[in-house]
Amino acid sequence: MSNLDDIVSLCKRRGFIFQGSDVYGGMAGTWDFGPLGTALKKKIMDSWWKFWVEDREDMYGVDAAIIMNPITWQASGHTETFNDPLVECKACHGRFRADKLVDGATESITTEQFLAANVKCPTCGKIDWGDVRKFNMMFKMTVGPVADDEHIAYLRPETAQGIFTNYKNVVDTIYPNIPFGIAQQGKAFRNEISPRDYILRDRECSQMEIEYFVHPNAWEESFDELVKENHRFLTEKMGLSTDKIHDEEVAAEDRAHYSKRTIDIMFDYPNGREELMGIAYRTDFDLSNIAKASGKSMEYRDKNSGEVFVPHVVEPSIGVERLILAVLAEAYKEDEIDGNKRVVLALPEDLAPYRFCVSPLLKNKPELVEKADSVYQMLRKKYGNVTWDDSGNIGKRYRKQDEIGTPKCVVIDFDTLEDDTVTVRDRDTAKQERVKISEL
């Protein structure tokens, strides 16, 4: 099992993930993706889009604005209920999530329950607490030049509402047959009281969400199909192993009040089992709220039967950073090749930042460098994500590429000049074979 510290260190050392605003000492709860992390993130998001939207006939994409009309968050209940229990230490003014300090507590912990637990302040060790207060996690902002209450808006706390608010636009322009889904990828913001667990609980994250609209009597088969397909996506496309993925049926008392069924898909991260994604049956909760708040009908008319109804919704929702960490944790391995220890990132070929690394055997032989460059340019044209390395010796180059997950290293040597074959070295087996350039 990989260790989280090793992954964090690799990600920093090799340019996958940096602390946000690193140069100024950081910004809590934010992370920046470097060149390799950006490549990995984009490939993961593109793979999801292809799997769910492009390869299916029943999915449509939207890309909604991050700043939405604040009525959105009243209608969805976020203004009222998107709260964490906040408690402040009167001695050191440290602020904490009350439920995280008390074993077994839930988000609805009361002041009495909290004080009864008699916990010490994690910062100063004293017991001198204020009341438990509800803290709304939406980032508040003002829109336009006047900073008064009339102009308050929020950074969206989820991408889902950008889908629901476009449901009618999609129905009126595309006329999809039910069941159909609307998918969106994008940033979401949560003002976490205490961001932690690396990129698992951050203040700014990316989400990939689908709202799947179904006939109210037919939600169960769609729910099952979406659970099954999510497993297929996670294992076949993301390379996660089946034995690390667990479905957890969320008990009625822990579900959102509108949800009739929720499954959390958990993953065995290096630091323990954590939620990777969720699939929730949301009934007609969102569309009905929008209908009430907007005065517009959210009804769907079936083209064949003529039946008119408000669709129900099944929502698969996944956080991109959670998925990235799962992919990295699954791929990270330490092993030994010819007596040398190495770190290898055994990423699926389609997710690796670079598909090939091209090298001349020696960098001081112009004829090798020239030939290697022509192979490099040819592969770049064909695959795009190809890198070049002529530093150090071949063994060191292999180690460097293993660590960032490059599946194949292509080396041009003197034989190449004779017969147009190259050495292709495989990341996972460390085996080398001669291959014709035309067959790369």
Residues that bind Zn ion in the complex, under the rule CB under 5 A: 89, 91-92, 94, 121, 123-124
What minimum distance in Å lies between the beta carbon of 101 and Zn ion?
A: 11
What minimum distance in Å lies between the beta carbon of 201 and Zn ion?
A: 22
Residue 108: other Cβ atoms inside 10 A: 11
Nearest to Zn ion of 77, 94 (CB atom): 94
Buried b (16+ CB within 10 A) or exposed e, 164-186: bbbbbebbeeeebebbbbbbbbb
User: Tokens 């449901």 — which residue?
Assistant: 167
What's the CA gap between 421 and 439, in Å, rounded? 9
What minimum distance in Å lies between the beta carbon of 107 and Zn ion?
A: 22
Nearest to Zn ion of 122, 392 (CB atom): 122
Pick from 126, 432, 168, 128: which is nearest to 310 by CA? 168
What minimum distance in Å lies between the beta carbon of 344 and Zn ion?
A: 44
Nearest to Zn ion of 127, 147 (CB atom): 127
What's the CA gap between 249 and 234, in Å, rounded? 18
What minimum distance in Å lies between the beta carbon of 383 and Zn ion?
A: 55
16 conformational bin, left if phi > 0, alpha if psi -120 to 50, beta if neither: alpha
Nearest to Zn ion of 126, 140 (CB atom): 126
Nearest to Zn ion of 196, 232 (CB atom): 196
Nearest to Zn ion of 119, 293 (CB atom): 119
What minimum distance in Å lies between the beta carbon of 128 and Zn ion?
A: 7
For residue 42, report the phi and psi dihedrals to the nearest 5 degrees: -65, -40
What minimum distance in Å lies between the beta carbon of 26 and Zn ion?
A: 22
What's the CA gap between 407 and 429, in Å, rounded? 10
Contact 156, 162 (CB under 8 A): yes
Q: Are strands 408-412 and 356-360 parallel, antiparallel or unpaired?
A: parallel
Report the Cα 54 to chain-centroid distance in Å.
19
What minimum distance in Å lies between the beta carbon of 120 and Zn ion?
A: 8
Nearest to Zn ion of 124, 152 (CB atom): 124
What minimum distance in Å lies between the beta carbon of 333 and Zn ion?
A: 42
Pick from 264, 279, 160, 285: which is nearest to 223 by CA? 279
Q: Are strands 332-337 and 340-345 parallel, antiparallel or unpaired?
A: antiparallel
Q: How far is CA 394 from CA 165, 345, 361, 363, 397, in A?
A: 55, 18, 7, 11, 5
CA angle 278–279–283, rounded 5-degree value: 130
Residues 6+ apart with CB under 8 A from 200: 269, 274, 321, 322, 325
| Cis peptide preceding 179, ω within 30 of 0 | yes
What minimum distance in Å lies between the beta carbon of 87 and Zn ion?
A: 10
Nearest to Zn ion of 121, 320 (CB atom): 121
Nearest to Zn ion of 124, 417 (CB atom): 124
Contact 394, 430 (CB under 8 A): no
Nearest to Zn ion of 92, 362 (CB atom): 92
Contact 276, 283 (CB under 8 A): no
